[in-house]
Structure 1
């Protein structure tokens, strides 16, 4: 009888160990899935950041170009006003 009891105890311990192993494997798979989702989100954030950086660069280029054009228009207006004043003063 003692060997039967020892075998039963060993089987119970083995089942408990197998259950613990299954739980650990399930937890590992879940973590990997979560990590994979997080990595995907990080990739999407990086892609959005790159797109936004490119849009910002383009906007800054357009703003600089508009500033240059604005200065040129202002210079031409000043020249035109001076020309009109000179004609009116004659």
Structure 2
């Protein structure tokens, strides 16, 4: 097989073609892998949605506890007010000498 003057050009073109095909195969493999697994953005959004749901549930629970504490405080306040009135009533009575 004799070498023609164009042979180096053909070898160079084949080497370039081989490089391009290798890069194309790697790109296709990367693309297929990216389609199989959720992307970073999708993962981040899913994590944020889970955090939001968890925080919303915690806020609802805290609001419910606050409502319970407020109701209890109001009840204690009314009872304390009645107790103060009762003590004041007892103190306001004239003393009976014995």
**TM-score scaled by structure 1?**
0.70
CA distance in 2, matches of 1:37, 1:25: 16
Q: 1:43 aligns with which of 27, 46, 52?
A: 46
Residue of structure 1 equivalent to 2:82 = 79
Larger radius of gyration: 2
**CA shift for structure 1 position 50:** 0.6
**CA shift for structure 1 position 37:** 5.2
**CA shift for structure 1 position 58:** 1.2
Residue of structure 1 equivalent to 2:96 = none
Q: Which residues of structure 1 form unaligned runs of 5+?
A: none
**CA shift for structure 1 position 36:** 1.9
RMSD between aligned residues: 2.6
Q: Which residues of structure 2 form unaligned runs of 5+?
A: 94-98
Identify the structure with the greater helix proportion.
1
**CA shift for structure 1 position 70:** 0.3
**TM-score scaled by structure 2?**
0.66
**CA shift for structure 1 position 26:** 4.6
CA distance in 2, matches of 1:12, 1:89: 110
